Structure formats: C-alpha cells, structure tokens
Amino acid sequence: MMTAIYLISAFVIAGLFFVNRNSVINNILIIIFGILQTGFTIYGCYNHNTSVLEYFTFDSLGLLLLMTLSVITIPALFHSYLYIKRHDETPQSRAIYFSALVILITSITAAYLANHIAVIWIFTELTTLSASMLIYHHRNKLALEGTWKYVFICAISITFVFIGILFLSLSLHHAGSDDLSFSNLMLYKDQLNPFWLRLAFLFIFTGFTAKLGLVPMYTAGIDAKDKAPAPAGALLASVLMNLGFVGIFRFYALVAHTSLFHWANLIIFIAAFTSIFVATVYMTKILNIKRMFAYSGIEHMGIVMLGLAAGGVGYYAAVLHIMLHALVKSGLFFQYNQIYRTFQSKSIQNVGNYFKYNPTGAIVLLIGFISATAMPPSGMFVSEFLIFRALFEGNYIILLILVLLLLTIVIWAFGKNILKILFLPVPDIDETKIPKISPWESLSQYILMFMAIWLGLNPPAAFVQLIQDAIKILPN
C-alpha cells in the first residue's frame, strides 16, 4: 500500500515539477520529495522482508542500497537547488531538471526493490530516459554528444538484457515454469537448461555493465558523468552504478547455484580485471577532474566484482565496498562544483593551490582522495582489504599481484593530480575573481565521508546483520 503511495506520489511530484514555473513551489516540492524518499526508506526498514505489490520486496540488499540512495538523495537535492539557483536557469530548464531527477531517484528505488527480472529491466530503462534528460541539461554541443552516446549505448545494453531475459525464459521452459521472479527461478534452479542459462548470463551481464561501469559497456557512463551537472553526476556515479550491481547480483545468485558457477566467476574475473586495467590506463593520462572521478568509479566497480567472484569473505566486502564507494564518490562529485566555481575550469592544468582558496572544501577533497584510494584510515580500506583477502584465500595469487600493481599506479596517478589541485599554485590566475565559498556547503560532503569511514571501521551490528543476510543466498 505504502509502496503504491510512494510510486504514485513520486511520479505526481515529477509531473508537478514539470508543469510548475514558480520558484517557491519548486522549493516546497524539493522538500516534499526529500521527506517522501526518507519516509519510504524508514517504512522499508520496518517492513524488512515483506513483499508489496507482488513485484517488490524489501529484502536486505535492496534495503541497504535504498538507505544509501536516500542518504545521498538529500544532499543531491540540496546541491541541485544551489546549482540551479546559481546558474540563473530558466523556469523551463529547472522544471525539466528536477522532474528528471525525481524520476531517476524513484526508478532507481523501484529497481532496487524489484523481485522480478523484467521489473528491474523496466525501471532500468526508465533510468536511461531520466538520466539522459539530466545529461542534456546544458543543451550545448558537447552535452548533446554525451547524451547521444549514453542513450545509444544504454539502448543497446537494455536490448541485450532483454535478449538475456528471453534466453532465461527458454531455460526456464525446460523446468516447466514461466514465472520469471527470482524466488521462482531459485525454486527451479536445478532444472534450468544450462545452455540457455549460459547465454542468458552473458547477455544480462553485458547489458548491466552499462549501468555498473565495467568493460565492455562502461564508455557511455564516463561521458555521462562528465557532461551531467555535478549534483546529477553524483547520482550517476554512485547510486545508478549500484543499480547495475543489483541487476547482476540477483541473477548471479541464481547462476551461483547451478553448474555454471565457476564459468560465471571466470567471466566476472575477466570483466573486472580488464575494467581495472582500463581505468588505470586512463587515470595516468587524465586531465579532466570529473572524468578522473568517473574512471576511479570504474576501478572500484572492478574491485567489487572481484570480491563477488572470489567468494568467501569477498561477498561481504563487495556489498560493503559498493555502499562505501557510493557515499565517497557522491561526496567528491558534490565537492567538484565548488572547484569549478573557484577556477572556472575542469582541467587539472588550470586548477591548483585549492587549499589557499577554500580550505574546508580542500579537506573534503583530501579525505575523498584518501577514501577513494582506500588508504588506511578510510572505510574503504577495510572493504578493499577484505576483498584482497578473499582473493588470497581463493588462491588467485597472480590475479591479486596484478591488481595490486595496477592499483599502485592508480594511487600514483590519482595522488599526483589531487596533490596538484590542492597544493601547486597555478601561474596566471586572477585572485580577485575567485569567489568566497561558504564552508557550510561542504557540510553534507563531510557527513557522507565520515559515514563511509564509520561504516567501514566500526559498522553497527544491525548493519553487519543486514549485509550477512543479503549474501546468505550465495553459496559459501
């Protein structure tokens, strides 16, 4: 019941955003949606493991990621508000921006909770639509190019997922059933035809990599995160990637119980390793700050998938890592806007000595850097370390050494750029033009970063319990 109310009112709010031209009503709607999203999450926490509307279940994984989403939603709305206010947007572009943002968040929420593969698929398609509106926000040539690439690659990926679903239904035919919900698939897991299941896994995995950001379909996401306004880019770089993870995770949990388990792991290892490799290669050359953050996301998704394929403690670490990554990466993207306002440039070459101009923001960047490279005091160190342990225990020593080597290069490249941004002065800069930025605008980033550290180093018992429950369906 509550879910229906949530979905309907979210879409109504999106519609109101779309038709409304008044800025006061716009702000009220932002607050209402923030309350709605938070309220729905709290409702979900009290209804753990209940199914609603037939196609949605508040299971542990969905709930964990939903909480991450709602935590990120509040600062995303706040920073979107600031962004739109500062850019003197026309009422039309503001209307489109906010209604696309609301549809994006709502469809991600619905896709997290969906217990039927076709429902996940439908809402994934909706995210493509709303994300493309956000990417096209500036309506210039580059934004159009980014949008075009994103839409085209996502359309092909979504077609791949659909082909995968068709193969899956063929596979299920052999078991004499035609209900594609995950619980039913689990029921018939021993009778599924392995040949069709194999094809289904290949297609569904490839399709969801567009959202998750792995080789082969990662390319579109990079341009998208670059061209979207930073508050929207924060969502694309964190919670939307988690959506790809949900799609793959739920299907992988089924495949893991069949004879294809080792084969599927091999596929994931190959995709994950090549992703880390690709991210490393680009990171060493990169000059665009936003794209640097985006490639760092590709690298982290590679690590997450390594954890998932390695098994053992890796399952726990993978789920933990993807949540911490979402918190940290969205914080970095929110912070990026302040950098852009200070220097009016995306290029690392034109940015420097940030500590002098905005110390509060510079510290966010520093903590974000420490977290994103998983250095010890950060929460992501814990999860990444656990993933390495899982690889070690699974006897993937050579893979582990290669990954560690690549990550060292990533840390070097990332560190070189971030330290340049923070400390090295740029020669010709007009200091009178640099605006004063209120430290309060960095507050939400501090909260996100410290949450990531806290959840990594000292997770509450209930939180650990939820993760354990989420990975219970995977074989040990």
Partner 1 sequence: MVNVLLIIFIISLLYVSIANRIITYVRVLALQGVILFGVTFLQLKDIQTWNLVLILLETIVFKAVAVPIFLAYLIKRNKITRETEPYLPHFISLLIITMIVVITVLLANSIRDTYLDKIFFIVSLSTIFTGLYFIATRKKIITHVMGYLMIENGVFVLSLAVGNEMPNLVNLGIMLDVFASVLILGIFLNKIGDVFKAADVDQLSNLKDY
Q: Which residues bind partner 1 (CB under 8 A)?
A: 118, 121-122, 125, 128-129, 132, 141-142, 144-149, 151-152, 155-156, 158-159, 162-163, 165-166, 169-170, 173-174, 178, 193, 195-196, 223, 226-227, 282, 285-288, 291
Please check whether residue 442 is in contact with residue 360, taking contact to mean a CB–CB distance below 8 angstroms: yes
Q: Which is nearer to partner 1, 296 or 378 (CB)?
A: 296
* Helix, strand, coil distribution of the chain in percent, nearest 5: 80, 0, 20
Q: How buried is 2 (Cβ within 10 angstroms: 0-12 exposed, 13-18 middle, 19+ buried)?
A: middle
Minimum distance from CB of 171 to partner 1 (Å)? 10
Q: How many whole angstroms separate alpha carbon 17 and alpha carbon 265?
A: 44
Q: Which of 260, 244, 245 is nearest to 167 (CA)?
A: 260
Element (H, E) at 325: helix 313-343
Q: Which is nearer to partner 1, 133 or 323 (CB)?
A: 133
Q: Which is nearer to partner 1, 173 or 472 (CB)?
A: 173
Minimum distance from CB of 333 to partner 1 (Å)? 18
Q: How many whole angstroms separate alpha carbon 403 and alpha carbon 389?
A: 13
- For 351, which DSSP code? -
Minimum distance from CB of 300 to partner 1 (Å)? 18
Tokens of 172: 């299920």
Q: Which residues are bridge partners to 49 per DSSP?
A: none
Minimum distance from CB of 338 to partner 1 (Å)? 23
Q: What angle do CA 138, 146, 434 make, to 5 degrees?
A: 45
Q: Which is nearer to partner 1, 282 or 315 (CB)?
A: 282
Q: Which is nearer to partner 1, 162 or 340 (CB)?
A: 162
Q: How many whole angstroms separate alpha carbon 108 and alpha carbon 66?
A: 9
Q: Which is nearer to partner 1, 227 or 321 (CB)?
A: 227
Minimum distance from CB of 413 to partner 1 (Å)? 12
Q: Which is nearer to partner 1, 154 or 474 (CB)?
A: 154
Minimum distance from CB of 410 to partner 1 (Å)? 15
Q: How many whole angstroms separate alpha carbon 301 and alpha carbon 274?
A: 11
Q: How many whole angstroms separate alpha carbon 21 and alpha carbon 15?
A: 12
Q: How many whole angstroms separate alpha carbon 325 and alpha carbon 374?
A: 10
Q: What b/e sequence results for 240-274 when a residue is b if at least 16 CB atoms lie within 10 Å of its CB, and e otherwise?
A: bbbbbbbbbbbbbbbbbbbebeeebbebbbebbbe
Minimum distance from CB of 281 to partner 1 (Å)? 10
Please check whether residue 261 is in contact with residue 255, taking contact to mean a CB–CB distance below 8 angstroms: yes
Q: Which is nearer to partner 1, 163 or 375 (CB)?
A: 163
Minimum distance from CB of 20 to partner 1 (Å)? 22
Q: Which is nearer to partner 1, 79 or 116 (CB)?
A: 116
Minimum distance from CB of 91 to partner 1 (Å)? 20
